[in-house]
Amino acid sequence: MKLTQQNLIELSKVAQEAALKAGEVIETVILDAPSRENLKVKSKATGSSKASQVVTEVDLKCEKIILDVIEPTLKKFDLALLSEESIDDQSRFEKDYFWCIDPLDGTLAFVESKPGFSVSIALVSKDGVPQIGVVYDPSTQTLYSAVKGNRAFKNNQPLQQIKHQSGSKRKQNILTVIAEPNLIMSAEFAKIIDELKQISNSYSWSEMKILEGYGAVINACQVIENSPAVYFKLPKPQQGGGSIWDFAATCCLFNELTGVVSDVFGIQLDLNKKGDSFMNLGGVIYASEKSISTEMIRIIQGILK
């Protein structure tokens, strides 16, 4: 079943409703100290990093809430489903579109009471193109949403395009670099920062700000909020490095904001990849503009040789 623009707008409203309802559960835990202290944390046999292995009762409760809201759309629009806390039934390769859900991205940050967690819901076509992207940040009560070909929004107000001016026309001359703590502490990260400093004059960056990010979804949103900016993850052989549900919604946002998303080799992210859902082999780059993406690809490929 091929979806019309009106269908996508209708489904976006459903996704927003689901994200906000799940967010209410997260907000309740955030505000209730006893609930935070008694939070049950478990490990799951997936990925190689602690961030990919941790799961809480809140993840599972949020997933149920989201699935309850979107369940009627599965039959009505003949949609498949891929959700982090459920088994991948491979129906995403058979249907024209599938819901892609991360009920609580940044669970480790949530458990450690650090900012960077969110609810992420996307609708992706069988060929891996995001059609809808919805992100809700319970910490700030910020709702991002986008529909392919229909702009992007922040709290239901049109989201301004990511700035692409150069030199003195920039709103700010600070380059913001966003990465997870483990990457920031690595030798590779230090080399990348050194390389960026060497080209800073060419882009009139007066300084460089490093943000220690946690959940991949909010890290990508930070690029939107801190332009000029870049968020990246390096490739690694072990499973991890984020999964399809970590990037699908924000890819849709970036497509509508003319931001740039790719793996570290400049290849478009495969948001319906066969095999497992992990994106570790290609890494990821979110950049506020093409020139920054191009420089990051060059620098990272030079380091990886």
What does each of the 305 residues of the chain score in pLDDT, given as a tens digit?
899 999 999 999 999 999 999 999 999 988 775 556 667 666 654 544 444 545 789 999 999 999 999 999 999 999 999 999 899 999 999 999 999 999 999 998 898 888 899 999 999 999 999 999 999 999 999 999 999 999 999 999 999 766 544 444 445 589 999 999 999 999 999 999 999 999 999 999 999 999 998 899 999 999 999 999 999 999 998 887 799 999 999 999 999 998 999 999 999 999 999 988 999 999 999 999 999 999 999 999 999 98
Two tokens, residue 78: 């003949």
Enumerate the β-bridge partners of residue 54. Answer: 43
- Domain spanning 167-304: CATH 3.40.190.80: yes
Q: Specify the length of the chain in residues.
A: 305
Tell how far CA 55 is from the center of its chain: 18
Question: How far is C-alpha 3 from the geometric centre of its chain's CA atoms?
Answer: 24
One-letter amino acid of 232: F
Which has the closest alpha carbon to 119: 24, 50, 46, 42? 24
Question: What is the spatial distance between Cα 63 and Cα 103, in angstroms, rounded to a whole number?
Answer: 5
Task: Render the burial of 228-264: b for 16+ CB within 10 Å, e for the rest.
Answer: bbbbbbbbeeebbbbbbbbbbbbbbbbbbbebbbbbb
- Residue whose tokens read 């835990």: 29
Which token pair is 201?
Answer: 């004059």
Type of residue numbered 31: L
Q: Provide the pLDDT for residue 48.
A: 45
Burial of residue 15 (CB within 10 Å: 0-12, 13-18, 19+) is: buried
Are 44 and 53 a contacting pair, CB within 8 Å? yes
Omega cis (within 30) before 228 = yes
pLDDT at residue 168, rounded to an integer: 41
List every span in the chain annotated with CATH 3.40.190.80. 167-304
Strand partners, 174: 207
Provide the edge-to-edge strand list for the sheet that holds 97-105: 80-83, 97-105, 118-125, 130-137, 142-147, 152-154, 157-158
Cα dist from 130 to 98, 121, 183, 208, whole Å: 10, 11, 27, 31
Helix (H) or strand (E) holding 165: none
Question: What confidence score (pLDDT) does residue 163 get?
Answer: 54
Structure tokens at 55: 């799961």
* 3-class DSSP assignment, residue 175: strand
Would you say 65 and 95 are in contact if contact means Cβ atoms under 8 Å apart? no
The CATH number of 5-158, from 3.30.540.10, 3.40.190.10, 3.90.1150.10, 3.30.230.10, is 3.30.540.10
Q: What is the pLDDT of residue 26?
A: 94
Contact yes or no for 96/195 (Cβ under 8 A): no
Strand bridging mode 174-179 / 229-233: parallel
What pLDDT, on the 0 to 100 scale, is given for residue 229? 96
- In the chain, CATH 3.30.540.10 covers 5-158
Give yes or no for a contact between 26 and 137, defined as CB atoms under 8 angstroms apart: no
